[in-house]
Amino acid sequence: MKKIFALLLSMAMILAVLPLTSLAQEKYIIGVAFQNVTSDTEIQKDYYTNELAPALGMEFIFSEAIKDTETLVTFIENCYAKGAVGIINYYTAGRGRGAEAADQYEMFFITQASKLDDATLDLEYNLGNCGASVDGMARAYTAAMESVLADGENHSVLMCTTAAVGQVAASHYYSTQAMLETMQNKYNLTYSKSIDEIINTDSPGEVDTGNPNIKIFLVPGTDNDKTLATISTPLQSGDYDIFVAVSGYANYTSAIAEVERAKNMDIKVVATASIEKQTLTGFTTLDPLGNPILNAVILNPLNVANAFCAAAIYNALNGGAEALKDADGNAAQLFVNPWPCPDAETYANIAKLDTEHDTYVINADDLQRLMVTSNPDANHDSYAEYLMELADIDAIIARKIK
């Protein structure tokens, strides 16, 4: 009796989670494959659903956190089964295999990454990348490092390099490079290996700087939990007073605060951050020694890449695929410049962006410039030009925040 009941209940559940209406056939179904699911993700989902979807006539399917290539391929296949015609991919390590899978199912594919996968450039349905500008990130990290080293004292750096090894995420690689070069120039360090070799070391460890008073410890790896465990020992040694993260820092603030309290020291934090309450808190909250938790952040515009990726797929579906490729007809790279944010005031303004239609950096009205149906000249070059304009945060704030 209980078994039959359990079976019937399962069937009822399956039928109950159906949407009540089937989707309108004229909408394009696009799969969005998130690498991590954080509070940012909800903000992005809202943007996709409330702003991009109506403007582009799309319906978006969102994935769970994609941890490996197998999961990405599975998601792509399931999207295909649902009738999707495009994929926006965030899982950088799987961009090659993902492009192949999407190409096999004739789905347009674009990745939010900073480095193209050479093996899949020529695939018909691969539209390339739209990701953080590596030069922009390098410049931003250089500026941020110089600002925290400006006091002339000796400092040691603990850095999470995330996907820098092998340039899986090129921006991570170049951000790490920028930090190492800045440290080298500042303290006349003589590294025993080349910077490239140092960054490409698979395992976490101390860098041989040639100067016993200046320590640098690098921690690669994309698994936040594993990284947190790995940084614990060097952090608790109290030897490192600057913490740098090439991607988010939020996972590590508690650990850092604990060490600051225990060792009665200030650890400066330089990281890529998101536009969220936590970042504002980071700027305005003081650590045990009366210093703000965050010292300098590099903010990646939250939804700019999303808009460009969605628009790129839209154009491809409307006959504009070739216009997005490079001169050789291969998948091309677009770069989104980060916004440097040295203080709370700047941050407060940036935080007002991307909250509603009027404040979205690229809202439905701005999108027209990217859509080939309203702007027949929209192509790779015009996209790149627009992205350069969007590097000027002050101009954006002036335009959007009245």
- Which residues lie near other proteins (CB under 8 A)? 2-4, 6-7, 9-11, 13-15, 17-19, 22-23, 61-64, 67-70, 73-75, 77-83, 93-94, 96-97, 100, 119-120, 161-166, 168, 200-204, 220-223, 226
| Nearest approach, Cβ of residue 75 and other proteins (Å) | 8
Tokens of residue 300, six digits? 């990646």
Return the number of the residue (22 or 213) whose C-beta is nearest other proteins.
Answer: 22
| Nearest approach, Cβ of residue 16 and other proteins (Å) | 10
| Nearest approach, Cβ of residue 31 and other proteins (Å) | 9
| Total H helices, total E strands in the chain | 17, 13
| Nearest approach, Cβ of residue 197 and other proteins (Å) | 13
Give the residue from 331, 320, 321, 276 showing the smallest Cα distance to 302.
Answer: 276
Return the number of the residue (192 or 203) whose C-beta is nearest other proteins.
Answer: 203
Q: What distance, in Å, lies between the first and last C-alpha atoms of the chain?
A: 66
Q: In the β-sheet with 126-132, what is the strand arrangement from edge to edge?
A: 58-62, 28-33, 86-89, 108-111, 126-132, 332-336
Taking a C-beta distance cutoff of 8 angstroms, is the pair 363, 157 a contact? no
* Residues 82, 61: Cα–Cα separation, whole Å: 9
Coil, strand or helix at 108: strand
Return the number of the residue (151 or 202) whose C-beta is nearest other proteins.
Answer: 202
Q: Following DSSP, what letter does each residue of 208-241 receive, concatenated?
A: --S-TT--EEEEE-S-HHHHHHHHHHHHHTT---
Return the number of the residue (53 or 341) whose C-beta is nearest other proteins.
Answer: 53
* Residues 315, 376: Cα–Cα separation, whole Å: 10
- Scan for tokens 């925290």, then name that residue: 148
Return the number of the residue (62 or 141) whose C-beta is nearest other proteins.
Answer: 62
Return the number of the residue (176 or 253) whose C-beta is nearest other proteins.
Answer: 176
| Nearest approach, Cβ of residue 23 and other proteins (Å) | 8
| Nearest approach, Cβ of residue 218 and other proteins (Å) | 10
Give the residue from 219, 246, 378 showing the smallest Cα distance to 308.
Answer: 378
Return the number of the residue (93 or 336) whose C-beta is nearest other proteins.
Answer: 93
* Residues 77, 98: Cα–Cα separation, whole Å: 10
Return the number of the residue (200 or 330) whose C-beta is nearest other proteins.
Answer: 200
Give the residue from 52, 48, 94 showing the smallest Cα distance to 75.
Answer: 94
Indicate left, alpha or beta for 329 from its phi (over 0: left) and psi (-120 to 50: alpha): left
| Nearest approach, Cβ of residue 9 and other proteins (Å) | 6
| Nearest approach, Cβ of residue 27 and other proteins (Å) | 12
Return the number of the residue (15 or 286) whose C-beta is nearest other proteins.
Answer: 15
| Nearest approach, Cβ of residue 90 and other proteins (Å) | 13
Taking a C-beta distance cutoff of 8 angstroms, is the pair 356, 300 a contact? no
Max distance between CA atoms of the chain, in angstroms, equals 78
Return the number of the residue (103 or 326) whose C-beta is nearest other proteins.
Answer: 103
Cβ neighbourhood burial of 228 (10 Å; 0-12, 13-18, 19+): middle
User: What distance lies between CA 142 and its chain's CA centroid?
Assistant: 19
| Nearest approach, Cβ of residue 41 and other proteins (Å) | 9
